[in-house]
Amino acid sequence: MTGILNRPTKSARKAKGDGHLRRAEILRAAERIFVAEGYEGATIRKIADEVGVSSTCLYMHFRDKDEILLRICTTAMEQLLALNSEISARPIDPVERVRMMMSAYVAFALGNPNAYRLVFCASPLAASVQKQRATLQLGAQCFERFSGVVREIAAQGRLRTGDPRTVHQALWAACHGMVALMIAKPDFDWAPPEEISRVMIEGLLFGLISD
């Protein structure tokens, strides 16, 4: 994660290539620029220069920077939803599913720090309810998958304290707090992320859920 805000050297102009690959390259470059320079500082020209294409070429893929930002955020939420949906549907103990979903959330956030910042850490989309709608809907589905498994645990009488809604929100807040801090402070002498994640998750589940 170290140096996630450092922008690479500007690319040379590139020949036209596969549209899908070029779109992905544009989105990766835009993530870095949105995080490093903010919404206002991120311009189509800067994104195009980062990728090594003309602004005209970039407009062939995206209408404007709002569309680019929205695609970054919705793609991240779609990936989280896919993870939550797959794990929540597994025919295993709900506590194990919660453990796996929390681990997957942490791993996704730390593996995609720029996208995570844009979605969950003061996203520019927050200024527009219309722009936020797509990510809000995807987020609601993610949370429903997770809270549904917590409700299964509650239905088994295994919650030590709180109700399903409170427990679900507390677990999510803990995961977010951990990854947001690690992303914001990449130069701190962190223990291995997998170990911090394991200790946090096991500690939370031990305190909240009875065997």
DSSP state of 12: P
What kind of architecture, by CATH, is found in domain 19-65? Orthogonal Bundle (1.10)
- The domain locations on the chain are 19-65, 66-208
Name residue, tokens 């990936």: 79
> Each residue of 61-96: pLDDT tens digit?
998 888 888 888 889 999 999 999 999 999 999 999
- Position 41 scores a pLDDT of 85
Helix spans in 2-161 (H) = 19-41, 44-51, 55-59, 65-88, 94-111, 113-120, 129-155
Whether the Cβ atoms of residue 31 and residue 114 lie closer than 8 Å to each other: yes
- pTM score: 0.82
Model confidence at 13: pLDDT above 60 = no
- Position 131 scores a pLDDT of 61
* Rounded mean pLDDT, 49-62: 90
Model confidence at 127: pLDDT above 60 = no
For the ranges 65-79, 111-125, 153-167, the one whose mean pLDDT is highest: 153-167
Distance CA 29, CA 7 (A): 9
Q: Give how far the C-alpha of residue 11 lies from the chain's centroid of Cα atoms, to the nearest Å.
A: 27
Contacts (Cβ under 8 Å, ≥6 apart) of 87: 97, 100, 101, 104
Q: What is the CATH number of domain 66-208?
A: 1.10.357.10
Of 24, 26, 20, residue with least CA distance to 55? 26
- Position 198 scores a pLDDT of 97
